[in-house]
Structure 1
Amino acid sequence: MNQHVDKAMELRNEMPMVNNCAQTIMRVYADELGMNEEQAAAIGCNFGGGMKCGGTCGAITSGLMVLGAMGIDSPKVVGEYRKRMAGMHDGLTDCAALLQENARKGGEKKVHCDNMIKESIELIDELTENK
């Protein structure tokens, strides 16, 4: 694992769990983005649960926010991020659809969301490795 994933899993395993998927990713990168963790969590608060309505997964939207805050706005890189995240999940990117598919396969919600967070962070780190 990497330091970003390790920190994310620490946040996700706090009891009670208070960070949604987007808040977790935003908090992990807070220092690198020039903000404190409280500011980062506030930015991500409305993106968990697919913008609180089952839309695009918060792990994906927060990944795009982190990339943008790091100065990466290239359509090629952003497209690569989205394509690869969708590709790991049969083309699905909406929270509701991802959770339905996970439940259909007998998966647990927290485990699924933690995996989405890990995948997003690993991809962010890969895409920003040379930046």
Structure 2
Amino acid sequence: MNFFNKKSKADKALKYFRQAPAYHNCAQTIYKIFQDEYGITNDQISELSKHGNGKAPDGLCGAYFAGMELLKNNPELREEFSKRFKERSQYLSCFDIRLNYSMSCKNLVFLAANLLEELTTEQEKKNE
């Protein structure tokens, strides 16, 4: 694949979010597109079915929750992910996001995937 045809994780996320055959929710989608990098099992992705549509712990956005879970062993990236997500979405809870129409769920999935890819790429470059 050449450079110009390479799709970002965020682009790939939109192929999974609420699309056949699996109809992944926001949290599942984030886990699915980072499955290889984080060694995520299909069972773990299935388990996240209960964390979509405002049902993530503390009412968090599912895409945000999944991103934070993936970064749980990296406090520095976790903090930066949280900061950048909130700057762009304005809120972290699904209820507040929906109530204030700050972003669509599709855009939140795109945002979370993009931020995760951006932050991990930045960290890899620092470590070189």
TM range (shorter): 0.7 to 0.9
Identity in percent? 26
**How far apart are 1:14 and its partner, in Å?**
2.0
**How far apart are 1:83 and its partner, in Å?**
1.6
Instruction: Give the distance between the partners of 1:34 and 1:79, measured in 2 at CA.
Output: 22
TM-score (norm 2): 0.77
TM-score (norm 1): 0.76
**How far apart are 1:124 and its partner, in Å?**
0.7
Alignment of 1:109-124 (within 5 A): 112-124=104-116
| SS of residue paired to 1:45 | helix
| Amino acid in structure 2 at the alignment position of 1:97 | D
User: Which residue of 2 is the match for residue 85 of structure 1?
Assistant: 85
Q: How many residues align?
A: 118
User: Runs of 4+ in structure 1 displaced over 4 angstroms?
Assistant: none
| SS of residue paired to 1:46 | helix
Alignment of 1:43-58 (within 5 A): 43-51=47-55, 55-58=59-62
Instruction: Give the distance between the partners of 1:89 and 1:14, measured in 2 at CA.
Output: 23
Instruction: Give the distance between the partners of 1:39 and 1:24, measured in 2 at CA.
Output: 13
Asked if 1 retains the 8 angstrom alpha-carbon contact of 2:54 and 2:94, the reply is: yes
RMSD (CA atoms): 2.5
- 5+ long unaligned stretches in structure 1: none
Asked if 2 retains the 8 angstrom alpha-carbon contact of 1:54 and 1:95, the reply is: no
| SS of residue paired to 2:100 | helix
Sort the Cα spacing of 1:124 and 1:39 in 2 relative to 1 into closer, same or farther, 3 A: same
**How far apart are 1:54 and its partner, in Å?**
7.6
Instruction: Give the distance between the partners of 2:8 and 2:112, measured in 1 at CA.
Output: 14
- 5+ long unaligned stretches in structure 2: 1-5
| Amino acid in structure 2 at the alignment position of 1:126 | E
